[in-house]
Copies of this chain bind each other. A is one copy, B any other.
Amino acid sequence: MAVARRTSRDIRSDSRLIVVRALLAAGESTRAALAEDTGLSPATVSAVVGDLLGSGVAAEAGLLSGTVGRPTTGLRLNPDRGRVVGVYVEDRHFQATVFDAALRRLANVHVTAPAPVEAADDVIDRIARTLDTALAEAGASHEDVLGVGVLLPGGMQRPVKSALAPDAIWLHLDRLRDRLGLPVVVDNPLKAIAAAELWLGAGRRCASVVVANLGEGVGAGIVQDGAVVRGATGTAGEWGHSLLVFDGRACQCGRRGCAEAYVGVPGIRRTLAETAPGHPLLDVPLPGFAAALAAAAESGDPAAASAVERTAHYLGAALADLVAIVNPEVIALTGWAAAELGALVLPVAERRVRDDAPGDAAASLVIEPSHSSGMEGIAAIALERFMRDAGLVTTRVLPAL
């Protein structure tokens, strides 16, 4: 990736994205309020609004009466400009969510296949059918769709190791595009959640936000100065595969000692197994393990409590590395830390972050649950891609595929 050359078109493009995000946040606004909100000059806002009205991305919303003066023409994103569809594919799960062009959720369909879907053509077929069902639910047709965004866990982050076809679908994107007959973008779920934080979440008030996901897998999405950080090969934010213990536990990625091997759910189970071999909780399947561990710890099981405590220290130390290197204003947690185990783990983990982070780097750090969804994020990315195809946006770094 060479240095992006910024042209006057790019600068206009930036202004358009800024105004689109401001409209999204405000719901309805006016040219004057947009200039106030964004800091862009009234002339720039007028020009940008003209572009957005001309392309149908924004629409007039009737007269708004303010507190003083004459009523002024209201502006909003134009929900009827079209539809954007987010698709999530993992293992046997196929989910499609239809949004209007103001990123409001219209319909959601989640289909679980009765058996693993392995052939690429079968995966593509299932995606197409799930998407059609969701469009029907939303009362929308193919022609309404501005873009489709596919959330693909893992697959693009490293060479495909799984035999499961969904992970490898990004190798067959041309066939997916042909089959759908629609513009398709593919992105990693954490990049998508980061995009959602940027457009709709903590990124609206902070320049620097890290989304940290704690589930079976562990990773981060980084927002800095108005963009999701992608890095040279699109893998920036692979915090789960930063080191926690040199030559430590084997990680599923093939390396030893990664943070994921300690704070991913299988890693937490391994922590329990190390200190309490034969503990009955070790028989609980992974999807229910974090909740079961939390319940056991709360009901006074000392081995469970010890595994929770140890996990809190691992997590705090791993988050402190993010603070050391990225130094964000906000870390937004998703996965188990925001759900099953967070209440037990976070107080200790937060103390450890503040103790371990360099100097006062974590002094005003906010650690909070992320309320952003990958589906909203991938819809935002698909909408941004549509604006690019429409010539409205030029400079943002776009998803890898």
Which residues of the other chain, B, contact A215 by a CB distance below 8 angstroms? none
Q: Per-position contact with B for A96-126: 1 when CB-CB < 8 Å, else 0? A: 0000000000000000000000000000000
Instruction: Write the chain B residue with the least CB distance to A318.
Output: B243
Instruction: Write the chain B residue with the least CB distance to A36.
Output: B5
Shortest beta-carbon distance from A250 to chain B in Å:
13
Shortest beta-carbon distance from A208 to chain B in Å:
6
Query: In the complex, A28→B242 CA distance in Å?
Result: 44
A178 at the interface (CB under 8 A from B): no
A241 at the interface (CB under 8 A from B): yes
Q: Is the CB of A361 within 8 A of B238?
A: yes
Q: What is the interface residue range for chain A against chain B?
A: 35 or more
Q: Is the CB of A204 within 8 A of B6?
A: no
Q: Is the CB of A244 within 8 A of B246?
A: yes
Q: Is the CB of B206 within 8 A of A329?
A: no
A284 at the interface (CB under 8 A from B): no
Given contacts A224-B229, A361-B235, contact A3 B241 (CB under 8 A): no
Instruction: Write the chain B residue with the least CB distance to A395.
Output: B225
Given contacts A2-B207, A3-B206, contact A325 B237 (CB under 8 A): yes
A390 at the interface (CB under 8 A from B): no
Q: Is the CB of B365 within 8 A of A204?
A: no
Shortest beta-carbon distance from A142 to chain B in Å:
34
Binds B, one of A37-45, A56-64, A296-304: A37-45
Binds B, one of A71-79, A128-136, A163-171, A352-360: A352-360
Q: Is the CB of B253 within 8 A of A358?
A: yes
Enumerate A5-48 residues with CB–CB distance to B below 8 Å. 5-8, 10-11, 14-15, 18, 38-41, 43-44
**Residues of A bordering B, CB below 8 Å:** 1-8, 10-11, 14-15, 18, 38-41, 43-44, 157-159, 203-208, 220, 222, 224-227, 229-239, 241-246, 248, 253, 255, 257, 262, 314, 317-318, 320-322, 324-329, 355-356, 358-361, 363-365
Interchain residue pairs with CB less than 8 A apart (10): A2-B205, A3-B203, A159-B359, A231-B326, A231-B328, A232-B327, A232-B361, A235-B327, A238-B324, A243-B321
